[in-house]
Protein backbone atom coordinates (compact mmCIF):
# COMPACT_ATOMS: atom_id res chain seq x y z
CA UNK A 1 0.00 0.00 0.00
CA UNK A 2 1.01 3.61 -0.52
CA UNK A 3 0.56 5.77 2.55
CA UNK A 4 0.98 9.54 2.49
CA UNK A 5 -0.22 12.78 4.00
CA UNK A 6 -2.40 14.30 1.30
CA UNK A 7 -0.87 17.40 -0.26
CA UNK A 8 2.61 16.77 1.18
CA UNK A 9 5.72 14.81 0.25
CA UNK A 10 5.55 12.79 3.49
CA UNK A 11 4.96 9.19 2.40
CA UNK A 12 5.84 5.55 2.89
CA UNK A 13 4.80 2.09 1.71
CA UNK A 14 3.58 -0.86 3.71
CA UNK A 15 5.26 -4.24 3.99
CA UNK A 16 3.56 -7.35 2.53
CA UNK A 17 1.42 -7.64 5.69
CA UNK A 18 0.18 -4.05 5.49
CA UNK A 19 2.36 -2.77 8.35
CA UNK A 20 3.90 0.68 8.03
CA UNK A 21 5.29 3.62 9.97
CA UNK A 22 5.14 7.22 8.88
CA UNK A 23 6.44 10.40 10.47
CA UNK A 24 3.47 12.19 11.99
CA UNK A 25 3.70 15.96 12.33
CA UNK A 26 0.70 17.51 14.11
CA UNK A 27 1.22 20.83 12.31
CA UNK A 28 1.33 19.20 8.88
CA UNK A 29 -1.64 18.25 6.73
CA UNK A 30 -3.38 15.62 8.85
CA UNK A 31 -5.29 13.90 6.05
CA UNK A 32 -3.69 10.46 5.78
CA UNK A 33 -4.29 8.75 2.44
CA UNK A 34 -3.94 4.99 1.93
CA UNK A 35 -4.02 3.70 -1.63
CA UNK A 36 -3.45 0.45 -3.47
CA UNK A 37 -4.11 -0.50 -7.09
CA UNK A 38 -7.54 -2.05 -7.49
CA UNK A 39 -8.89 -0.42 -4.33
CA UNK A 40 -10.49 2.92 -3.50
CA UNK A 41 -8.18 5.37 -1.74
CA UNK A 42 -9.07 5.80 1.93
CA UNK A 43 -8.65 9.22 3.55
CA UNK A 44 -8.36 9.46 7.35
CA UNK A 45 -8.78 12.83 9.07
CA UNK A 46 -8.99 11.83 12.74
CA UNK A 47 -5.58 10.50 13.71
CA UNK A 48 -4.24 9.46 17.10
CA UNK A 49 -0.53 8.70 16.77
CA UNK A 50 -0.60 6.75 20.05
CA UNK A 51 -2.98 4.09 18.67
CA UNK A 52 -2.49 1.60 15.83
CA UNK A 53 -4.70 1.99 12.75
CA UNK A 54 -6.88 -0.80 11.41
CA UNK A 55 -7.69 0.00 7.81
CA UNK A 56 -9.81 -1.93 5.31
CA UNK A 57 -9.77 -0.73 1.71
CA UNK A 58 -12.77 -1.17 -0.57
CA UNK A 59 -12.28 -2.98 -3.88
CA UNK A 60 -12.88 -0.66 -6.83
CA UNK A 61 -14.07 -1.50 -10.28
CA UNK A 62 -11.41 -0.57 -12.82
CA UNK A 63 -12.61 0.37 -16.27
CA UNK A 64 -10.06 0.87 -19.01
CA UNK A 65 -10.71 2.02 -22.54
CA UNK A 66 -7.64 0.14 -23.72
CA UNK A 67 -4.17 -1.03 -22.76
CA UNK A 68 -1.42 -0.78 -25.40
CA UNK A 69 1.65 -3.02 -25.32
CA UNK A 70 4.30 -2.70 -28.04
CA UNK A 71 5.78 -5.99 -29.20
CA UNK A 72 7.59 -7.49 -32.17
CA UNK A 73 6.27 -11.02 -31.79
CA UNK A 74 3.05 -12.91 -32.26
CA UNK A 75 1.72 -14.49 -29.09
CA UNK A 76 -0.68 -17.18 -28.05
CA UNK A 77 -3.64 -16.04 -25.93
CA UNK A 78 -1.93 -17.32 -22.76
CA UNK A 79 1.24 -15.37 -23.61
CA UNK A 80 -0.86 -12.24 -24.23
CA UNK A 81 -2.56 -12.70 -20.85
CA UNK A 82 0.79 -13.15 -19.11
CA UNK A 83 2.18 -10.01 -20.75
CA UNK A 84 -0.96 -8.05 -19.86
CA UNK A 85 -0.83 -9.21 -16.22
CA UNK A 86 2.82 -8.08 -15.94
CA UNK A 87 2.14 -4.64 -17.45
CA UNK A 88 -1.19 -4.05 -15.69
CA UNK A 89 -0.58 -5.59 -12.25
CA UNK A 90 3.21 -5.52 -12.06
CA UNK A 91 5.59 -8.20 -10.80
CA UNK A 92 5.42 -7.72 -7.01
CA UNK A 93 4.27 -10.44 -4.61
CA UNK A 94 0.98 -8.54 -4.17
CA UNK A 95 0.53 -8.43 -7.94
CA UNK A 96 1.19 -12.16 -8.19
CA UNK A 97 -1.57 -12.83 -5.64
CA UNK A 98 -4.07 -10.61 -7.49
CA UNK A 99 -6.63 -12.34 -9.67
CA UNK A 100 -8.43 -10.94 -12.71
CA UNK A 101 -11.85 -12.52 -12.26
CA UNK A 102 -13.00 -12.16 -15.87
CA UNK A 103 -9.96 -13.06 -17.98
CA UNK A 104 -12.20 -14.81 -20.50
CA UNK A 105 -13.76 -11.40 -21.30
CA UNK A 106 -10.43 -9.86 -22.30
CA UNK A 107 -10.18 -9.22 -26.04
CA UNK A 108 -6.80 -8.57 -27.65
CA UNK A 109 -6.03 -7.11 -31.06
CA UNK A 110 -2.54 -7.31 -32.55
CA UNK A 111 -1.44 -4.80 -35.22
CA UNK A 112 1.32 -6.56 -37.20
CA UNK A 113 2.44 -3.38 -38.96
CA UNK A 114 2.80 -1.26 -35.80
CA UNK A 115 3.81 -4.21 -33.61
CA UNK A 116 1.23 -3.18 -31.00
CA UNK A 117 -0.91 -5.46 -28.87
CA UNK A 118 -4.11 -3.76 -27.70
CA UNK A 119 -6.56 -4.78 -25.07
CA UNK A 120 -9.93 -3.55 -26.27
CA UNK A 121 -12.45 -1.80 -23.99
CA UNK A 122 -13.15 -3.96 -20.98
CA UNK A 123 -14.44 -3.96 -17.44
CA UNK A 124 -11.87 -5.50 -15.10
CA UNK A 125 -12.77 -7.13 -11.82
CA UNK A 126 -9.78 -7.63 -9.54
CA UNK A 127 -9.69 -9.76 -6.44
pLDDT mean for each 10 residues of the chain (127 residues): 85 85 72 85 82 82 64 72 80 77 80 77 59
Per-residue exposure over 45-62, b if at least 16 CB sit within 10 Å of its own CB, e if not: eeeeeeeeeeeeeeeeee
Q: Is the pTM of this model over 0.75?
A: no
What is the predicted pLDDT for the residue at 43?
Answer: 92
Q: Where are the domains of the chain?
A: 2-44, 77-121
| Bridge partner residues of 62 (DSSP) | 124
**Which of 125, 106, 101 shows the shortest CA–CA distance to 117?**
106
Amino acid sequence: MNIYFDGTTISTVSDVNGNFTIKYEPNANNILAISFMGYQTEYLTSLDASKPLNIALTVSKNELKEVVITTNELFTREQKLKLFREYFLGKTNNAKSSVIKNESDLRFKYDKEKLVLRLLQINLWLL
